[in-house]
């Protein structure tokens, strides 16, 4: 089972991060229905989701790529545009029903739904992000191999890494080793 991370500050960006190293090793984290269930559970998007199918996984992968493309297109402006197919996929998914919320007499809430309901939630989150002022705070990780996107809410807008455990420590350790090697040459 894949271990997912939720470090991006938005569900849609965490979901886009379910494929790693897009420019180099392309590592797919959503391969099986259990992977999709595990991601949804970790993101706390739906308390009781219908079992996903292999078709649900394929739909999720297509939506994930549309999310990534639309957000990166918004980051780069006119340098890149999401395709009409990707924009249509986002709009169609966003128009679907959301997970149902119920309230108990004890004021406990529960969300229930299908994988399609969760995908609708993610598509809406993407469209809301792109249309919001928060979009100006979206960055790509500074690790040249990493393609994870995140919302930089740091003081001074200085966050560089998707996460310290994922990329920050790795790059800092490599820089340290490089500096030590250069010192030993001198």
Specify the pTM.
0.88
- Per the domain annotation, does 4 fall within a domain? no
Residues 15-53: pLDDT tens digits?
A: 999 999 998 999 999 999 999 999 999 999 999 999 999
The CATH number of the domain where 23 resides is what? 1.10.3300.10
2 part of a folded domain: no
Residue 3 domain-assigned? no
Residue numbers of the domain that contains 139: 11-183
| 29 within 8 A of 18, measured Cβ to Cβ | yes
Domain count, the chain: 1
Structure confidence at residue 85 (pLDDT): 95
What is the pLDDT at residue 15? 98
């Amino acid at each position: 089972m894949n271990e997912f991370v939720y470090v991006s500050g938005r569900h849609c960006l965490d979901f886009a991060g379910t494929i790693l190293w897009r420019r180099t090793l392309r590592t797919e984290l959503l391969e099986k229905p259990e992977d999709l269930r595990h991601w949804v559970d970790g993101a706390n998007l739906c308390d009781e989701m219908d079992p996903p199918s292999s078709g649900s996984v394929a739909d999720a992968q297509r939506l994930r790529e549309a999310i990534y493309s639309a957000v990166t297109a918004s980051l780069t402006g006119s340098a890149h545009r999401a395709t009409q197919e990707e924009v249509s996929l986002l709009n169609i998914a966003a128009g679907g029903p959301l997970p149902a919320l119920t309230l108990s007499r004890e004021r406990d809430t529960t969300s229930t739904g299908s994988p399609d309901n969760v995908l609708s939630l993610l598509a809406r989150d993407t469209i809301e992000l792109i249309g919001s002022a928060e979009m100006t705070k979206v960055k790509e990780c500074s690790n040249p191999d990493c393609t994870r996107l995140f919302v930089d809410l740091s003081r001074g807008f200085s966050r560089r890494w998707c996460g310290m455990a994922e990329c920050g420590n790795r790059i800092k350790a490599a820089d340290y080793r490089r500096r030590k090697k250069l010192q030993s040459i001198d």
